[in-house]
Structure 1
Amino acid sequence: MAQLAIRKLLNGNGLVQTIMRTSATNFLVMVITTITSIVTARMFGVEGKGEFSAILFWPTFLVGIVGFGLPTSLIYNMKRNAGKGAEYIRAGFLFQLAVSIVVGVVSWIYLPVWLGNYSAEVIQTAKWYTVLTLPLLLAVNLIAALAQSSDNFRTYNGVRLFVPLFNLAGIAALFAIGVLSIHAASLVYLITTLLVVIWSLYQLRGELRIDWLRRMVDKAAAGSLFGYGSRVFGVELLGTLYSQFDKIIILSLLTPRDFGLYSVVYALSRVFNTVQMAISNVIFPKLTGLDKDKIISTVGRAFRLSLILMTIVVVPSMFIGRFLMGLLFGEEFLEASTAFYLLSIECILGGGSWILAASFNALGRPGLVLIRQIIALAITIGLFFIFTPLYGLNGIALSLLVGALVRMLITIAAMRVAFKVRFAGMLFDKDDFRFLIGRLREKKIMKRVGRAGGMDE
């Protein structure tokens, strides 16, 4: 009995259990990514780190602007219309295949222009890496969405964990044999992504066992998939621009050295929304299809608790962050410590606003999130061009912080107007602490029962 209870707590498919496991995966991904960043920063130096980050940046950015909302739409439609899952999957994968070819050709032609401040060797590596990695990353996004929609969070978390884990292993192997270079490291990242795609396709082989060569397209299924996708695409496109436009500004206005500094402090600051990202990734597929009151109450509680817990974590961490940055990455990275402080606060505010946005997507109202993104993006981009020439990297970080605050305030205001949610109620609810204490007590009781069961055996 005791063992069954513990197994249910740890391995169940409930919202809390899934968030706990996804949070643990996010933490592992963060640790592995940080270690990889430390290794590459130490090996390549500030400028080399900037060149390597520039190579990795473009396929990630391009995938975000040509996703057309299909991963989110796949989750939404498969949850709402389970009988047509095969048609949704087929249409999504085949469409993204065609997109990857077109975007790959455009990237090959224009990357030398986009990377005008970089050497010919870096540009050539970036061209090959972008063209070959782009279809793999598009596939990864659809595979992750398919896993989420079928509640297969084991595969979903595996996709996100194995990529950085194998990247680190590959980088360590290159270092061990003495051939660690920017070009070799890029090849490792490409091979890693390919291996994880193959593994995940095997894990989801049941869902993918469909008639891929069928000529006729189910127009109703395709209409639903691309219809909802077009509605969320604007939100996701603006989200991509919001999260990546800072890198574009650095590539355009600043130097590879600045990109190297920024890539380190930005990645380090993302440590602080580990839990919030897990909630955002889990809560949308779990809540879609439920009634409005349940969605609003669950999202609100997740937002408030995550904001409180992550604030408690970030305040002391910021004090020791500068020390750790110099110790782990090297003294030359300390000049970006102020940007790290600003980005850490921005990370928490931004993560909280995306949790709130899940309520609009789950209720089929992504247009409200689109309006929020347009306003916040316009303000942030405008501040980029004002603050970056004045303050450099600190100006970029400050612009992002202001934009994150604007996003959160607009989202809460939209919930007040659209769902009649009290403003104060979204920021504080005394029942949240009772809920949290109850969960902690439940976990403590389970541990005691487990110990007792072990002793009985």
Structure 2
Amino acid sequence: MAIMQLIKTRKNWGSVGNVLQIFASNVFILGINVLTGIMIARYLGPEGRGEQAAIIMWPQFLAYCLTLGIPSALVYYMKKKDGNQGSLYITALYMSVILGCAAIVIGAFLIPFWMKGYSQEVIEFATWALVMSPIAMIGTVNTATLQSREEFHLYNVSRYFPLIGTLILLLGLVTIGHVTPFYTSVAYLFPVLPIALWITFKLVSQYKVSQSNKFTSGKKLLSYGIRSYGTDVAGTLSGYIDQILVVGLLSPASLGLYVVSLNLSKILNTIQNAITSVLFPKASGLQHTEAIQLTFKVYRISTLVTIIVGAGVFLVAPYLLILLYGQSFADAVPIFRILIFQTAITSLSWILSQGFMSTGKPGVVTIIRMSTLGLNIVLLNILIPLLGTEGAAISLLITSVVEFTVIFLVYTLNNHIKLRDFIVSKKDISWLLQRFRSQRLQLKEK
């Protein structure tokens, strides 16, 4: 918290400062997620944790599947500074509400069919939870807008305040002795609502609802969005398809073990999320060559950090998993070890993908991610029945390796990127150290 507070108070740290600020927030968010995850796992056990995970999964999953690429398009065009930022935001807001309502309708038909192995009570509660889909959709638009405006402090607040609300509600449930899959699901879903409404109100009051050129803005958003939509869908399905298939093919207890492993493996995502949140908007404002150079410089440095952090997590976290979540989750350790590798590779692939996204070529990423998604679905359907939850983790790992390999080949064959551009050098480390020294001098001068 002290680091985050220090970074937050400095206005001239530039991109490095923004990355550090988001990274500090990600660490804070991860800590809260681990704490809330421990509470739920300890009180509900694997089966109850699986039921709770199945309930809260659907609103976000269906909303993110129906974005039509609007959030990415919003970042891309708002960074062009063509004077239509207000119209772009308001148009995107209207579209997100409509798409969120569509998610409710789709989910109402899908959930009873897919969750046949769950009790009727869990199925009904999961269906009612879909009312949060429009809020989730609005959240994606607000997040994209804050990134475009480089309001990273507000962006971070919108991410960790709902989690603080969840923690408070869970503590209340523990106090009164009502820790159930249903009450804890409400504790996870409800806190998103007030922060989403507050951010929306702030942005609408700045841009005004009565914006002109909504039709033109809508065409712009859909033109870019449809080309990047496959990336959004592939990313969403890649993040949820394993859990969805586990829901349909295995027991709630198996899902509980898998979700705990998956959530803890996301420790490495704190690095990637911080970098891409700043890299995409920053690179979108650069020329093609400069954007690619920036992408690879960031990729090389993040590779070094990911290796160091990943090695430490691999060695220590499995023991912490049992210590924190309890002996009933001991079977999650092998799954977790596999997912650590998968998360590291996926994070680096997504950083490299920003080079295509920021240079107006989202279709390249879409084709790659849709292709590897198809491979993942095939592998999941083969390996889950054979190996259970470990099969799901192995499937994700294989798919991540294939995706990284394809991105590597596209850069080397089509963009003439050399092998040495993928390998961290002393020059990169010197550049990073120089940036830190520069920021330190600025702090001393103040």
Question: Structure 2-normalised TM-score?
Answer: 0.94
Residue 109 of structure 2 is aligned to residue 113 of structure 1: no
Matched ranges for 1:17-32 at <5 A: 17-32=17-32
- Distance 1:7-1:318 versus aligned 2 partners, 3 A rule: closer
Matched ranges for 1:264-283 at <5 A: 264-283=260-279
- Distance 1:34-1:319 versus aligned 2 partners, 3 A rule: same
For 1:358, the equivalent position in structure 2 comes to 354
Q: Is the Cα contact below 8 Å between 1:387 and 1:396 reproduced in 2? A: yes
Structure 1 residue runs without a partner (length 5+): 1-5
Percent of aligned pairs sharing the same letter = 29
- Structure 1 window deviating more from structure 2 (103-112 vs 171-180): it is 103-112
Matched ranges for 1:22-421 at <5 A: 22-130=22-130, 132-211=131-210, 218-421=214-417
- 1:80 aligns to what SS in structure 2? coil
Q: CA deviation at 1:9?
A: 8.7
- 1:204 aligns to what SS in structure 2? helix
Distance 2:325 2:243 in 1: 20
Q: CA deviation at 1:423?
A: 2.4
Residue-by-residue CA offset, 1:353-372 (whole Å, 9 max, x unaligned): 11111110100011111121
Q: CA deviation at 1:72?
A: 0.8
For 1:15, the equivalent position in structure 2 comes to 15
Aligned AA (1:319): L
Q: CA deviation at 1:416?
A: 2.1
Q: CA deviation at 1:389?
A: 2.1
Q: CA deviation at 1:8?
A: 9.7
Distance 1:327 1:218 in 2: 54
Distance 2:159 2:141 in 1: 13
Q: Is the Cα contact below 8 Å between 1:372 and 1:407 reproduced in 2? A: yes
Structure 2 residue runs without a partner (length 5+): 1-5
Q: Is the Cα contact below 8 Å between 2:384 and 2:391 reproduced in 1? A: yes
Distance 2:374 2:41 in 1: 33
Residue-by-residue CA offset, 1:340-396 (whole Å, 9 max, x unaligned): 011011111101111111110100011111121123222222221222222211111
Q: Is the Cα contact below 8 Å between 1:413 and 1:423 reproduced in 2? A: no
Distance 2:262 2:225 in 1: 29
Q: CA deviation at 1:12?
A: 2.5
Distance 2:8 2:267 in 1: 29
- Distance 1:105-1:26 versus aligned 2 partners, 3 A rule: same
Q: CA deviation at 1:240?
A: 1.2
Aligned AA (2:299): F
Aligned length, in residue pairs = 441
Aligned AA (1:123): I
Distance 1:413 1:110 in 2: 38
Distance 1:404 1:116 in 2: 30
- Distance 1:338-1:313 versus aligned 2 partners, 3 A rule: same
Following TM superposition, the consecutive aligned residue runs of length 4 or more in structure 1 with deviations greater than 6 angstroms are 6-9
- Structure 1 window deviating more from structure 2 (117-126 vs 261-270): it is 117-126
Aligned AA (2:200): L
- 1:207 aligns to what SS in structure 2? helix
- Distance 1:30-1:7 versus aligned 2 partners, 3 A rule: closer
For 1:426, the equivalent position in structure 2 comes to 422
- 1:12 aligns to what SS in structure 2? coil
- 2:164 aligns to what SS in structure 1? helix
- 1:117 aligns to what SS in structure 2? coil
- Distance 1:46-1:426 versus aligned 2 partners, 3 A rule: same
- Structure 1 window deviating more from structure 2 (132-141 vs 173-182): it is 173-182
Q: Is the Cα contact below 8 Å between 2:22 and 2:274 reproduced in 1? A: yes
Aligned AA (2:177): G
Residue-by-residue CA offset, 1:107-153 (whole Å, 9 max, x unaligned): 223321121111111111111111x1101100111111111111211
Q: CA deviation at 1:417?
A: 3.0
Aligned AA (2:184): A
Q: CA deviation at 1:94?
A: 1.3
For 1:3, the equivalent position in structure 2 comes to none
- Distance 1:166-1:208 versus aligned 2 partners, 3 A rule: farther
Q: CA deviation at 1:185?
A: 1.8
- Distance 1:30-1:409 versus aligned 2 partners, 3 A rule: same
- Distance 1:281-1:84 versus aligned 2 partners, 3 A rule: same
Q: CA deviation at 1:81?
A: 4.3
**Cα RMSD between the aligned structures?**
2.0
Q: CA deviation at 1:424?
A: 2.6
- Distance 1:237-1:298 versus aligned 2 partners, 3 A rule: same
Question: Structure 1-normalised TM-score?
Answer: 0.92
Residue-by-residue CA offset, 1:288-335 (whole Å, 9 max, x unaligned): 121122211211111111111121112132122221111100111111
Q: Is the Cα contact below 8 Å between 2:310 and 2:340 reproduced in 1? A: yes
Q: CA deviation at 1:443?
A: 5.0
Q: Is the Cα contact below 8 Å between 1:155 and 1:203 reproduced in 2? A: no
Q: Is the Cα contact below 8 Å between 1:88 and 1:222 reproduced in 2? A: yes
- Structure 1 window deviating more from structure 2 (400-409 vs 263-272): it is 400-409
Aligned AA (1:277): N
Q: Which protein has the larger Cα radius of gyration, Structure 1 or Structure 2? A: 1
Q: Is the Cα contact below 8 Å between 2:269 and 2:343 reproduced in 1? A: yes
- Structure 1 window deviating more from structure 2 (285-294 vs 64-73): it is 285-294
Q: CA deviation at 1:219?
A: 3.1
Distance 2:183 2:122 in 1: 12
Q: CA deviation at 1:28?
A: 0.8
Distance 1:225 1:421 in 2: 30
Residue-by-residue CA offset, 1:9-53 (whole Å, 9 max, x unaligned): 933361111111011111111111111111100111110000000
Q: CA deviation at 1:255?
A: 0.7
Residue 434 of structure 2 is aligned to residue 438 of structure 1: yes
Distance 1:419 1:177 in 2: 60
- 1:297 aligns to what SS in structure 2? helix
